[in-house]
Amino acid sequence: MNATNPIFGPNRLKIGVFGLNGKGSAHTLVPEAYKPTWPNVLEAARLADGAGYEALVAYARWKGYIPGRVSHPAGIILDPFTFCAGLAQATTHAAVVTTSHAPTIHPIAAAKQCATIDVISGGRLGLNVVAGWNRPELEMFGAPLREHTDRYAHLAEWLAVIERLWTSEEEFDFEGEFFKVTGGMSMPGPVQRPRPPVMCAGGSDIGRRFACEHGDMCFILLHSEKPEDWARQIADYKTFAREEFGRTVQVWTYAPVVQRDTQEEADRYLQHYSVEMADEESLDGWISGNVANSKGQPSDVLSRMRRGLAAGGGGTRFVGTAEAIAAKLHELSDAGLDGILFTWVDFADGLRRMNRDILPLLEARGLRQPFRPASGHAA
């Protein structure tokens, strides 16, 4: 499927970078924290692209988490569609994955923007479809944050319109519960056939169901550090997709990384940026905006969640030496994981360390092939 897109390439463990269009995921006040200026974006994106990473995933966020603080870093986010169009031109290998909140963009506009990025990138687009959870940003649009089930029903219809527009060779009418399209068409279609890959990252039961029905790259958060639990969680997911929808899906996860020469050094840096220099105000805002995940949680769970979020979120973290990180990645791959998106406090620094020290270990372990960039890397 889609030979132009490395998401479907041969590496047993696929890797990518999450969040280059904003501040990344950590809630920290350290001065070296990444800022999405275009030179910074290009530096990090090319470090990943030039080393053969499969995906650069941009997130969709319309405002930060602290009410009234318009210039807080959490609110400084480049638009993921135009960002991916720029990355498409600046890179030659990685999939450029944009994200859209269905309530904020009409599917006709999204379908055409996606097709345009697919054309620019020569068939490397991916689309992360999200329903939205951050009430204040949806309220800014006058769009309702629907109840969970309705959120995903709306998302399914939104995606159905996009897929019709991507594939239909004739004008069509569409009438659903949420959208009415008369004489729909969108040309050119995307380069990738039957369609560009769809990424889904819902964590609730309904979100997972949606991902199994519609996603190609499906995300889980690993809530255990035991390989046997990972294997069960991943196998359950793939089995559900196959049995319920007859579909084969890739299962990915997402994780912050702190790689240092010793475990002690890595632990110390984690403590520094996510505890001593935690951005408590931003954490307060995130937690109060994300009522569904925080409501009714006991205080120790909430406190653990807060520390995890400060470190960059995700279900697991990679904190240690290159050898330890490579070994954990190998265990995850053996547990059935297809891919992983990384995030760092300082992306360029993290990518340089990973490219230098971890990628050769992953190659030696047979998880990835050595990468030879196509000649004439985009200027």
Ligand X SMILES: Cc1cc2nc3c(=O)[nH]c(=O)nc-3n(C[C@H](O)[C@H](O)[C@H](O)COP(=O)(O)O)c2cc1C
* Torsion-angle region of 338 (φ positive above 0: left; ψ -120 to 50: alpha; else: beta): alpha
Cis peptide before 136 (omega within 30 of 0): no
Q: Which is nearer to ligand X, 130 or 305 (CB)?
A: 130
Q: Which is nearer to ligand X, 60 or 90 (CB)?
A: 60
Is 60 near ligand X (CB under 6 A)? yes
Q: Which is nearer to ligand X, 85 or 341 (CB)?
A: 341
Binding residue for ligand X, selected from 75, 126, 196, 202, defined by CB under 6 A: 202
Binding residue for ligand X, selected from 44, 94, 131, 162, defined by CB under 6 A: 131
User: Which among 86-94, 103-111, 124-132, 172-180 is the span making contact with ligand X, rule CB under 6 A?
Assistant: 124-132
CA atoms within 13 A on the CB side of 157: 15
* Single-letter residue type at 189: G
Binding residue for ligand X, selected from 254, 318, 344, 347, defined by CB under 6 A: 254
Q: Which is nearer to ligand X, 159 or 322 (CB)?
A: 159
Nearest CA to 337 among 241, 250, 255?
A: 250
| Contacting ligand X within 328-367 (CB under 6 A) | 341
Q: Which is nearer to ligand X, 218 or 322 (CB)?
A: 218
Q: What is the largest CA-CA distance in the chain?
A: 62
Q: Are 214 and 127 in contact (CB under 8 A)?
A: no
Binding residue for ligand X, selected from 204, 271, 288, 355, defined by CB under 6 A: 204
CA atoms within 13 A on the CB side of 24: 29
Backbone angles phi, psi at 86, to 5 degrees: -65, -45
Is 219 near ligand X (CB under 6 A)? yes
Q: Which is nearer to ligand X, 47 or 201 (CB)?
A: 201
User: Which among 27-35, 168-176, 197-205, 320-328 is the span making contact with ligand X, rule CB under 6 A?
Assistant: 197-205
Rounded CA-CA distance 184/171 in Å is: 5
Q: Which is nearer to ligand X, 80 or 107 (CB)?
A: 80
User: Which among 48-56, 112-120, 183-191, 203-211 is the span making contact with ligand X, rule CB under 6 A?
Assistant: 203-211
Q: Which is nearer to ligand X, 81 or 191 (CB)?
A: 81
Rounded CA-CA distance 93/121 in Å is: 9
Is 99 near ligand X (CB under 6 A)? yes
Backbone angles phi, psi at 158, to 5 degrees: -60, -45
Nearest CA to 321 among 349, 352, 358, 347?
A: 358
Backbone angles phi, psi at 297, to 5 degrees: -80, 140
Cis peptide before 73 (omega within 30 of 0): no
Binding residue for ligand X, selected from 6, 16, 52, 132, defined by CB under 6 A: 132
Q: Copy the structure tokens of residue 95.
A: 């999939």
Is 75 near ligand X (CB under 6 A)? no
Nearest residue to ligand X by CB is 207
Binding site for ligand X (CB under 6 A): 18, 59-61, 99, 101, 128, 130-134, 201-204, 207, 219, 254, 341
